């Protein structure tokens, strides 16, 4: 008889905790928490990293009651379509109540990661003053704060390791925030201020870099000139990730950089190149062969020829972000050179114009043929064909994320003029592990039939200007068992689809529908039937909910499951039904 089998429910707490320490996914920690009451207690008192995918699904008070020892918190606010300006700026997602609660309950917060949240200077100040062990702040696509808030963080967070600002709208108050890092600050490992518009004190930056011997990642903004960068690199040969500022200078500085670069043997990730002079690019050729990640998507100044010259050195590349100025030919070079490529993003350089800078289905096919390890793609293109997508599906069955965006949202197959149903259908059939999909082009309900039938692992689906009838949306809701986020715009899906299976929405994180055929009446019915969903209607044309008729079509609807009922911070133009 095994000695432990007689110890039903007896595993010393410290042993359980030790095992839980090595459980890295939230899903796994959630599973063990449900095993029995004592495991729930051990798990909840030992969980230090908490992920909250929708900040309105739960309240700060409940978070802290469940996980009092939380040290690292990730929060997401606005829905994804906010990236396309579909969500009004002050819709919500305020971080202030979360910070206030954690201050009040003495949480020992060390890390805060926010995406699409509203962050005020007051929030940043509170954060910097009341969490003495605060180490890491990551803000992605947030706004509401200024450089004054950053100054508070720099001044007060004595053990700051990471300040990472990605694509935020930050008001520049010209207050020399970077100079606020005290001389005693030597702990920085990562500093990213590439998205800031204003100048920083260059001398302060150089001194900061010089004294932070553990600095691994530095991304500066466009106001940092090349000669300053060159001096910084001399001070920090240990850098692993570099985001350059302005890459324009005299030949002498370019030469100095070129001779200095080979010493930066640890750099594996490169980005920036805002304002670039092509003649300076050769300075980075020597580090290209080490690069695993290259982001040139902010560099409209680099044209195809120079891009190609740069990329043909990058044979270890795993992640590449470029503009469509690279062209199909340039993508052909990527396909030949970058055999380790896992993620590719091709952004539009000219989304509204009719310039020559485009990529087509040819570039995508070339990539799929050459880069067999590809599992994640975002591709903005001029045109697409079913034949190309079928080929891509055959070449790369390992896609986890597949996002295609034709510049004209309803363009058919460029050769046959047919809808692109068969092409995308081939992708979902072939890529059995597909978790995220964005479709575009001329698409009928048939595509959604394919998605519902084959996309078994699909968690997130984005639809725009697609489908013929409610049946399309129904195929998806009925078929995709693992669907978590569905976002739809400008598609003919209406009340019948919305109300067919109201229970489905409790299995999903959220649903967004804008410029569809859904009426206010149907949304109200849904809200009434499902009290644990928040059904919000965004009505920017003014007017009161009482004035609106139930037959009015709803501009924008966002619904999500929640444990805490309707939110109390919704602005006037958001009606909670």
Shortest gap between Cβ of 30 and other proteins (angstroms)?
A: 4
530 binds other proteins (CB under 8 A): no
CB 84 within 8 A of CB 60: no
Within 431-569, where are the H helices? Answer: 445-454, 470-479, 495-499, 520-529
SS3 of residue 401 by DSSP: strand
Six token digits for residue 279: 């003649």
Q: Please calculate the CA angle 51-170-102 and round it to the nearest 5 degrees.
A: 35
Pick 221 or 534: Cβ nearer other proteins? 534
Shortest gap between Cβ of 459 and other proteins (angstroms)?
A: 11
Pick 35 or 550: Cβ nearer other proteins? 35
562 binds other proteins (CB under 8 A): yes
Pick 62 or 339: Cβ nearer other proteins? 62
258, containing H or E segment: helix 251-260
Among 58, 321, 336, 570, binds other proteins (CB under 8 A): 58
User: How many residues at the interface with other proteins, by CB under 8 A?
Assistant: 43
506 vs 280: CA distance, rounded Å: 54
149, containing H or E segment: helix 147-156
63 binds other proteins (CB under 8 A): yes
566 binds other proteins (CB under 8 A): no
Q: Is 350 left (phi over 0), alpha (psi -120 to 50) or beta?
A: beta
Query: Would you say the C-alpha torsion 330, 333, 337, 339 has a positive or negative sign?
Result: positive
Shortest gap between Cβ of 568 and other proteins (angstroms)?
A: 18
Shortest gap between Cβ of 56 and other proteins (angstroms)?
A: 10
Centre a 10 Å sphere on the Cβ of residue 387 and count the other Cβ atoms it contains: 17
CB 415 within 8 A of CB 385: yes
Query: Would you say the C-alpha torsion 486, 487, 493, 495 has a positive or negative sign?
Result: positive
Pick 5 or 541: Cβ nearer other proteins? 5
Pick 29 or 219: Cβ nearer other proteins? 29
402 binds other proteins (CB under 8 A): no
Shortest gap between Cβ of 36 and other proteins (angstroms)?
A: 5
503 binds other proteins (CB under 8 A): no
Six token digits for residue 425: 């259908």
CB 268 within 8 A of CB 241: yes
Pick 415 or 563: Cβ nearer other proteins? 563
195 vs 313: CA distance, rounded Å: 28
Shortest gap between Cβ of 5 and other proteins (angstroms)?
A: 6
- Output the 3-class SS for 535-570: EEEECCCCCCHHHCCCCCECCEEEEEECCCCCCCCC
Among 31, 45, 203, 550, binds other proteins (CB under 8 A): 31
Among 46, 48, 66, 122, binds other proteins (CB under 8 A): 66
Pick 7 or 500: Cβ nearer other proteins? 7
Within 297-379, where are the H helices? Answer: 304-311, 327-337, 361-370
Burial class (CB within 10 angstroms; exposed 0-12, middle 13-18, buried 19+) of 456: middle
- Binding-residue pattern over the window 1 to 30 for other proteins, x denoting contact by CB under 8 A: -xxxx--xx-xx-xx--xxxxxxxxxxx-x
132 vs 108: CA distance, rounded Å: 8
Among 41, 45, 48, 57, binds other proteins (CB under 8 A): 57
448 vs 466: CA distance, rounded Å: 9
Tell me the helices (H) and strands (E) count for the chain, helix number first. Answer: 20, 25
33 binds other proteins (CB under 8 A): yes
Shortest gap between Cβ of 417 and other proteins (angstroms)?
A: 43
Pick 8 or 417: Cβ nearer other proteins? 8
Pick 57 or 278: Cβ nearer other proteins? 57
Shortest gap between Cβ of 51 and other proteins (angstroms)?
A: 6
Shortest gap between Cβ of 256 and other proteins (angstroms)?
A: 41
184 binds other proteins (CB under 8 A): no
Pick 102 or 180: Cβ nearer other proteins? 102
561 binds other proteins (CB under 8 A): yes
CB 266 within 8 A of CB 241: no
Six token digits for residue 124: 């940043």
Shortest gap between Cβ of 538 and other proteins (angstroms)?
A: 22
Among 45, 203, 500, 563, binds other proteins (CB under 8 A): 563
Pick 52 or 336: Cβ nearer other proteins? 52
SS3 of residue 210 by DSSP: helix
- Give me the DSSP letters along 414-432: TTT---SHHHHHHHHHH-T
Among 62, 197, 372, 373, binds other proteins (CB under 8 A): 62
Q: What does the DSSP 8-state code read for residue 126?
A: H
Segment near other proteins (CB under 8 A); pick from 44-52, 275-283, 335-343, 433-441: 44-52
CA 522 to chain centre: 32
Among 41, 42, 48, 52, binds other proteins (CB under 8 A): 52
Shortest gap between Cβ of 34 and other proteins (angstroms)?
A: 4
Pick 4 or 352: Cβ nearer other proteins? 4
Pick 125 or 459: Cβ nearer other proteins? 459
Shortest gap between Cβ of 60 and other proteins (angstroms)?
A: 11
296 vs 485: CA distance, rounded Å: 29
Contact residues: other proteins, CB under 8 A: 2-5, 8-9, 11-12, 14-15, 18-28, 30-37, 39-40, 50-53, 57-58, 62-63, 66, 561-563
């Amino acid at each position: 008889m095994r000695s432990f089998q007689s110890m039903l429910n007896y595993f010393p707490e410290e042993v359980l905790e030790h095992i839980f320490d090595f459980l890295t996914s939230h899903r796994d920690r959630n599973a063990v928490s449900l095993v029995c009451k004592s495991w729930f207690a051990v798990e909840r008192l030992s969980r230090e990293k908490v992920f909250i995918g929708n900040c309105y699904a739960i309240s700060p008070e409940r978070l802290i009651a469940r996980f009092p020892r939380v040290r690292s918190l990730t929060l997401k606010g606005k829905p994804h379509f906010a990236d396309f300006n579909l969500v009004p700026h002050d819709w919500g997602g305020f971080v202030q109540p979360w910070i206030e609660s954690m201050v009040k309950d003495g949480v020992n917060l060390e890390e805060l990661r926010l995406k699409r949240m509203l962050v005020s200077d007051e929030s940043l100040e509170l954060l910097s003053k009341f969490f003495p062990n605060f180490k890491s702040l990551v803000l992605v696509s947030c706004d509401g704060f200024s450089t004054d808030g950053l100054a508070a963080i720099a001044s007060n967070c004595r053990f700051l390791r990471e300040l990472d600002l990605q694509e935020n709208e930050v008001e520049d108050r010209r207050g020399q925030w970077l100079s606020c890092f005290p001389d005693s600050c030597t702990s920085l490992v990562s500093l990213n201020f590439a998205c800031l518009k204003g100048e920083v004190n260059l001398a302060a930056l150089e001194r900061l870099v010089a004294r932070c011997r553990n600095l691994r990642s530095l991304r500066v903004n466009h106001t940092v000139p090349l000669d300053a960068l060159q001096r910084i690199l001399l001070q920090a040969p240990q850098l692993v990730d570099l985001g350059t500022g302005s890459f324009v200078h005299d030949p002498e500085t370019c030469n100095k950089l070129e001779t200095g670069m080979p010493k930066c043997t640890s750099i594996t990730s490169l980005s920036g190149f805002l304002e670039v002079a092509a003649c300076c690019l050769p300075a980075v050729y020597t580090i290209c062969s080490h690069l695993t990640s290259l982001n040139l998507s902010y560099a409209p100044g680099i044209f195809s020829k120079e891009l190609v010259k740069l990329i043909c050195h990058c044979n270890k590349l795993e992640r590449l972000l470029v503009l469509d100025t690279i062209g199909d030919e340039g993508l052909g070079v990527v396909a030949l050179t970058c055999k380790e490529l896992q993620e590719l993003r091709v952004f539009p350089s000219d989304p509204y114009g009719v310039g020559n800078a485009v990529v087509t289905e040819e570039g995508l096919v070339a990539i799929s043929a050459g880069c067999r390890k590809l599992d994640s793609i975002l591709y903005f293109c001029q045109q697409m064909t079913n034949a190309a997508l079928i080929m891509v599906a055959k070449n790369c069955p390992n896609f986890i994320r597949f996002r295609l965006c034709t510049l004209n949202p309803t363009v058919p197959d460029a050769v046959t003029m047919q809808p692109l149903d068969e092409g995308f259908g081939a992708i979902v059939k072939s890529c059995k592990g597909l978790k995220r999909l964005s479709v575009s082009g001329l698409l009928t309900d048939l595509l959604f039939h394919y998605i519902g039938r084959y996309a078994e692992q699909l968690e997130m689906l984005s639809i725009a200007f697609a489908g013929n009838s409610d049946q399309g949306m129904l195929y998806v809701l009925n078929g995709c068992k693992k669907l978590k986020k569905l976002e739809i715009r400008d598609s003919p899906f209406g009340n019948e689809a919305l109300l067919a299976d109201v229970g489905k929405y409790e299995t999903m994180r959220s649903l967004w529908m804008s410029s569809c055929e859904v009426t206010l009446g149907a949304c109200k019915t849904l809200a009434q039937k499902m009290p644990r969903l928040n059904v919000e209607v965004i009505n920017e044309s003014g007017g009161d909910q009482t004035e609106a008729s139930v037959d009015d079509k709803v501009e924008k609807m966002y619904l999500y499951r929640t444990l805490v009922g309707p939110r109390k911070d919704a602005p006037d133009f958001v009606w909670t039904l």
